[in-house]
A and B are shown apart, each in its own frame.
Chain A
Amino acid sequence: MTGRRRLAIACVALAQLACGGREAESGRTVITISSSVVGTDGPLLRRQLDRFMQVNPGIEVRLHRVSDDATQRHQLFVQWLNARAGDPDVLELDVVWTSEFAAAGWLLPLEDPSIDRAAFFPGTLRACLWAGDLYALPWYADVGLLYRRTDLVPKEPASLDELATFAQRGIASGAVPFGIAWMGARYEGLVTVFLEYLGGFGGQIMDDSMNVRVDAPEAVRALTFMRDQITRWKVAPDDVLTWHEEETRFAFQNGRAVFMRNWPYAYTAMADPAQSRVAGKYAVSPMPAAPGGRPTAALGGAQLAINRWTEHPAAAFALVQFITAPEQQLERAVAIGEFPTLRAVYDEPSLRAALAIPADDARRAVESATPRPVTPLYTQLSEILQIELHRALAGQITPEAALTAAAQKMNAAVARTGLREYMFGRPVTSAR
């Protein structure tokens, strides 16, 4: 009989262990925020969280550190949210994930009247919307920029033709081995590079009716232009097909290229003369366009969303609002150079002094930035596109054939998932 009693005790202990949630001893509401905290991000975010807790003494915020690798982070979030875990309450999402998670029913819609949608740049906000509802608030923005060597190029190229010409001239002068460096490895970065040339020639990945348009003549011209850089004009080395952000930056930073396509972070990263051979010798501008197209910068960055299964939606919302508020965005921009998503912040004098590139240029870049297609299928579509783009750039297949195949497979994926019918065919109901 003692055995039975022991079993009973074990069961009680077990129940306590199993249900002992995350309540703080002090009785405060505990919420968690998951974020990748690399380098200077960490101390900054902790400082802001401490301030939030001072303002809201009833809430305790814990930082839930997650992997810096975007693919791993995505996988982890999918696992947590699908399991209906309430932790973490607040999630840092990459711009291309929000519609996927919202459509799956994993995020809480943000319906608070205090949210002023117009205060954000339209592009950054659009990536937070799904079926007309807002599911996240933009936190910071990343935009594709064209870096150029001011000692080798007289002015910012006004057109794509001029970009190619300047690059060729740079090589001919013997000053650099490469004309232009960009990320051409088979990963998400390649899609952002392609998106910019595509816009520059007047094309788009997907139209408003969810038809994939990467087989249009403009798209073929854009991909041919990228391919020509490698094979015809030989201004981009074959190596770009294995490059991500950092390899690209190193090539430019070591003085080996006239131009580079990269994100804003590179500006500060290359400023130290001890490590950078180009310190003080570079400037940025938007990617130029071809006749008939428009200058396009891919939009990246992060948003903050609330877990559908949170037990403390009000506290979580307060935190999201606090971190995305102008003061915190300004502090972040000043501290680590990331672009704010609120228009008004660009008028702050301290931002003008602190941002690595002129605030007006930064604002212009974010304003004209193009988001990647906002669709729950984005990850799958992008994977198809990456494979075909890479095959064409590696010369295994012509740009026409690659893009035709990509469009076909991407449209098939859209059709298979019934998303178009869901979006347009019948009245939109709640995803749940």
Chain B
Amino acid sequence: MSEMTITDTSTSGSSSVKRVPASLRVLPFLVALASPLILDNISWNPFAGWKILVGFILLIVVGKFAWSTAERDPDNPRLALKLWHRPDQRALTAMTCMGLVAIPFILGTDFDPPMDFPWASWFRIVNYIVLFALGAGAFNLLAGYTGQLSMAHAAFLMIGTMVGAHVGLIWGQSFWLCLPIAAVAGAALGALFGIPALRLRGLYLMLATIGVHFIVLLGWKEYLVHYFGFGGVRFNAPNLPSWLHWVPGINPEDGEFLINTQFRWFWLNLTITTICLLFLVNVIRSREGRAFAAVRDRDISATLLGINVARSKLVAFALSSAMVSVSGCLLSYYNRARSEDSFNLEQVLDYGIIIVVGGFMGIQGAIFGSVFFFALPMYFEWMREELPFISDIDFFSRYAGEVDLAIRGILVVVVLVWRPDGLAGLWQAAKNRLLRQFQNSQAGAAQ
């Protein structure tokens, strides 16, 4: 068994052992998760915007708290295997948790910044970012991490949608049953459609999976016409099971709690995406994940290492497809309506843009990429409408969609030419530089 050696940048200079009880280690994360909820329920102060300020102070305090409760033990190699054990990782994770939980409260308030930032439409964008991060993360596991370029991504979105429609609407079962069934169906069909990968590689595999895409597309159209007619399918809002009604903040109306607003969808999407992405991160850190990376680097040499390449490829296909069909099912329920031409090959390319611009390897890239993909057009729209000088130019408002498309295409090319490891690589480089400066300043202060 090989132990990964991680250079512990934060403890350089001091080799002291620091032990923190588990309860104290968890505490900053609990504070991070709870503080936006508490902040939202305090409303005695009439001054608008004070919560944002308090929130920022809290964010820094939480980060510092998480930093200071990190464990340090140079002699314990097991510690290095833990997810988020270094001080900087802990601080960033706690701050990210707090930020994520705060998003819907910030968007839900009537916070009104200057120049009319479009908060209401941002809520939809945030939900799409969360959902696409799930699909892109799964795509990245297959295409980036295992190196199996598959264009059958939209096919599995369709399969998830078909399972959701059939189980939820035709059989009349609950939405919560659709997700596991979609995952199982996706895994089974993913292993089936992964069989070409045993024979083909690179470009050839990519083209064969285009074939899979069009075959599934035909199946989807036939299914839709047969069961739902030409108008397409309309999903109903999921109903939260009644044994969860005790949770504070959930106020059932007429005995049921429908997930039908952006605010409620956000929590559902965030929960499922977080669980799935954490699962993927842990898969990547396991033996299976290292086998994936070996298959990507050179599958012939991977066999020499004793890796069962065929098994690795099929497992990667099954895992990725299961996640993708879950995300397809969720996306369809979130979208409410799906019709014959809801799925096309361009969606696969969109996911490809997301993972390559975000960073080809690792789950982080998927998240950065989906923020890039969705937030940027919104930002441009705001600039077009509100910023002086730019809003005066008639051309931009006349060809709004085309200008967005062109800018996105140019940005994709610029990112790829300028920084091949994507936005995640940019972020890592910036973080490392900041950390180094911070350590230098601390070392200077200590002397």
Binding partners A and B: no
